[in-house]
Amino acid sequence: MKRAGIILSLSILLILTSFSFCFAAGLELLDSYPKDGSDDSRPENFLVKLYFNEDVSAKEVQKQNEAAFKFTDSKGKELPIRVLYDSKKPKEIWVLVEKTLKPDSEYKLSISGDLQLANGDTLGEDRTINLKTRNTNTDNNVNMALMGVMMVGMIVFTSISTKRQLKKREEEERAKPETKVNPYKVAKETGKTVEDVVAKTNKEKEKARAKAEKRNKHMVQSQSEAADAGKAEDEKKDTKRVKGPRPISAAGSTYKTGRKAKAEKEREKAAAKAAAGTTRPKNATGKSRNKKAKHKK
């Protein structure tokens, strides 16, 4: 029992000691932006963000904590600052310098160990963040160089594009067979004879005309082939093959033309007479019948 009591007492003591260590940690500065030793900050609207492990935004200590921050230049001159808080980020404090800084210069943000929380815990020790602004003259030179490169590139690109357009236009002008050339003027400008200029012009015209005819012929042939193909396809779709002519009655129609109805009616009358018989001799006319009747009298 005594051993068990000793072990239990030691366990409780260890737990209490660990809790005391946790609570003794207090307020700590975890990080900053820009970081300590940074030399890449813009001199305009200079802002330092401080990140802590506890809520430092309590209103009852904000006014008191303003005295815990000091921003100085390389000569130790203190610059005006404003301490800012964000309710959505209670573990952050922002220090804004209310003055445009000098480029390529060193500055220092000092944080007093008296910075405290609402429960009375303090930072405990002074902290310093060394910062340096970037050289804006170098930035301006780099930007000017980039702009110069871009301008040269645009000029070169525009020049190449213009030359291509002029060359294309000249080729189109040469391809026109109807282009009129003043051989005397060309001969005077080039130093060639009029006959050579005329011969060269005629040769170029013939070449352009042959090229245009070939292009037109190819275009017409392509259009004709496309039209023939479309026509053949349409005929193939619309054409239907039958074995031979069929009467309209084969499709179930009972319509009769006038001549057909008349012919059928005459056939019916003839069939009726043949069935009833006749007293008229075969091949006898009206006159022969009268003569036979007189002879009998």
pLDDT number for residue 108: 96
194 within 8 A of 184, measured Cβ to Cβ: yes
**Strands 38-41 and 127-133, bridge-based pairing:** parallel
pLDDT at 249: 61
Q: Compute the C-alpha angle 246/249/252, nearest 5°.
A: 120
Element of type H or E holding 65: helix 59-65
Cβ atoms of 47 and 96 within 8 Å: the answer is: yes
Q: Does residue 212 have a pLDDT over 60?
A: yes
Higher-pLDDT residue of 45 and 163 is 45
Structure tokens at 271: 């069939």
Percent pLDDT > 90 in the chain is: 34
Contact of 68 with 126, CB cutoff 8 Å: no
In terms of Cβ atoms closer than 10 Å to its own Cβ (0-12, 13-18, 19+), residue 187 is: middle
Least confident of 57-71, 117-131, 195-209, 217-231: 217-231
Cα 265 to Cα 269: distance, rounded to the nearest angstrom: 6
What's the pLDDT score for residue 244? Answer: 60
**C-alpha 78: how far from its chain's center?**
54
Structure tokens at 79: 């610059």
DSSP H helices, 97-193, are 136-175, 183-190
pLDDT above 60 for 222 = yes
Q: Among residues 66, 73, 68, which one has the least CA distance to residue 108?
A: 73
Give the C-alpha separation, 290 to 297, whole Å.
11
**pLDDT of amino acid 53:** 94
Q: What is the DSSP letter of 121?
A: -
Give the residue, 36 or 259, on which the prediction is more confident: 36
**62-66, 200-204, 216-220, 274-278: which has the minimum mean pLDDT?**
274-278
For the cut 50, the answer to whether the pLDDT of residue 20 exceeds it is no
Q: In whole angstroms, what is the distance from residue 296 CA to residue 69 CA?
A: 169
Which residue carries 């492990």 as its tokens?
Answer: 53
Confidence band, pLDDT 50/70/90 cuts, at residue 181:
low
Asked if residue 21 has pLDDT above 50, the reply is no
pLDDT band at 38 (very low <50, low <70, confident <90, very high): very high
For residue 55, the SS3 value is coil
**Per-residue pLDDT tens over the stretch 260-283:** 677 778 888 888 877 776 555 545
Q: What is the structure's pLDDT at 261?
A: 72
| Residue 120 zone, left/alpha/beta (φ > 0; ψ -120 to 50; rest) | left
**pLDDT higher than threshold 50 for residue 180:** yes
Three-state DSSP at 255 gives: coil
Give the global pTM: 0.45
Q: What is the mean pLDDT of residues 237-261?
A: 60
Q: Average of pLDDT values for 225-234?
A: 67
* Cα–Cα nearest to 34, from 135, 108, 87: 108
Average confidence score pLDDT of the chain = 78
Residue 152 or residue 173, greater confidence = 152
Least confident of 89-93, 222-226, 279-283: 279-283
CA–CA distances in Å: residue 33 to residues 48, 94, 105, 196, 245? 6, 10, 18, 82, 99
